[in-house]
Amino acid sequence: MFEILVYPGVAFIIIASMLYSGILRKLAARMQNRKGPPVWQPFWDFIKLLSKDTIQPEQARPGYNVWPTLGFVSVLVAALAIPIGGMAALSIPGDLIIVVYFLSFGSMCLYMAGLSSANPFGVIGAMRGITQMVGYEFPFLASLITVAVARGTLSLWNINFFQVNYGFLAFLYPFAFIAFFIAIVAKAEIPPFHTPTAHQEIVSGYYTEYSGTNLAMIELTHYIKLFALLALGVAVFFGGSATIWGFLAKTLVLLFVVVVFRVVLARLRIDQAFRLTWFFGIVALVDLVRVLL
């Protein structure tokens, strides 16, 4: 019970996810020659949102208040199944499938939230998100299947500790790793893949109408999803982890590269994002074919 609720469970994941989001914002600001918010800003934002009124628009459809919480629970379950510092709160046979499913379902819940708001900006953002999802799931799955076939297992635990003992799988399957990294940037909606929430065009996209506790759940879902994707990257490609310090070091390295993408690259149009993610999906197939042969 301690592992599920505290470490490496719910409490650790939520706190670490907010902290990583704060580090991302702080690093991005420094790279842009700004001071930026403190790293604990996501904590204050979350607490503030919980204290605000939750307003439901008149045109909202059934599910408006359900989808944000369902998305949060989904990505949290995915994060609980990923090894963190050599431990996983939920150790389930075939946990790679569980993680892929709940990460994808969590994203779909957020887009359904946008559709249920019946706001024009929310609907456009949701449709963009679903379109982008069709694009990035291909390289995401192709890269993970490559590793699963190569190691002959769907256990993240086994893949993680194979790397601890024998080294980075990213070096053995570089094309799959590159495709995986592009996919997690798109999956986390980090620039240049923030088309579903393009503030310059559609306000806040699929969560334009949301406020209060619902908005807090959406923001927390984003935080946890990014943290879970970084943790998955370490477990599957980036050397695995047997200690919490090794896990933190490797996830922070991946986070730094994500921040570089966020700062350097401009937003893609939805058609450009779709074509780019499918291109890297095809790139990942190079390693998959090599493994199969």
> Could you tell me the residue ranges of all domains in the chain?
2-292
Q: For 7-11, 60-64, 145-149, 197-201, which range has the lowest pLDDT when averaged over its residues?
A: 197-201
Q: Classify residue 179 as exposed, middle or buried by CB count within 10 Å of its CB (0-12, 13-18, 19+).
A: buried
| pLDDT recorded at residue 83 | 92
pLDDT over 70, % of the chain: 100
Average of per-residue pLDDT across 200-224? 86
Average of per-residue pLDDT across 254-261? 93
Residue 241 has pLDDT above 80, yes or no: yes
Do 257 and 177 touch, CB atoms closer than 8 A?
A: no
Residue 134 has pLDDT above 80, yes or no: yes
Residues in CB range of 119: below 8 A, 6 or more apart: 57, 59, 208, 209
pTM value > 0.85: yes
221: confidence class by pLDDT, cuts 50, 70, 90: very high
The label of the residue with tokens 């590159």 reads 178
Average of per-residue pLDDT across 101-115? 91
Average of per-residue pLDDT across 208-236? 92
138-147, 192-201, 257-266: which has the highest mean pLDDT?
Answer: 138-147
In whole angstroms, what is the distance from residue 55 CA to residue 104 CA? 27
Residue 114 has pLDDT above 90, yes or no: no
| pLDDT recorded at residue 207 | 79
Q: Classify residue 5 as exposed, middle or buried by CB count within 10 Å of its CB (0-12, 13-18, 19+).
A: exposed
191: confidence class by pLDDT, cuts 50, 70, 90: confident
H/E segment holding residue 265: none
Do 17 and 227 touch, CB atoms closer than 8 A?
A: yes
Do 68 and 217 touch, CB atoms closer than 8 A?
A: yes
Residue 179 has pLDDT above 90, yes or no: yes
Residue 2 has φ and ψ, to the nearest 5°, of -60, -40
Separation in Å, CA 55 to CA 73, 113, 218: 21, 14, 14
Total residue length of the chain = 293
Q: Please give the DSSP secondary-structure letter assigned to residue 84.
A: B
Average of per-residue pLDDT across 220-226? 94
- Reduced to 3 states (helix: H, G, I; strand: E, B; else coil), residue 46 is helix
pLDDT over 90, % of the chain: 52
Residue 7 has pLDDT above 90, yes or no: no
Q: Which of 13, 123, 16, 157 is nearest to 73 (CA)?
A: 13
Q: For 2-16, 132-146, 168-182, which range has the lowest pLDDT when averaged over its residues?
A: 2-16
| pLDDT recorded at residue 14 | 94
- Reduced to 3 states (helix: H, G, I; strand: E, B; else coil), residue 227 is helix
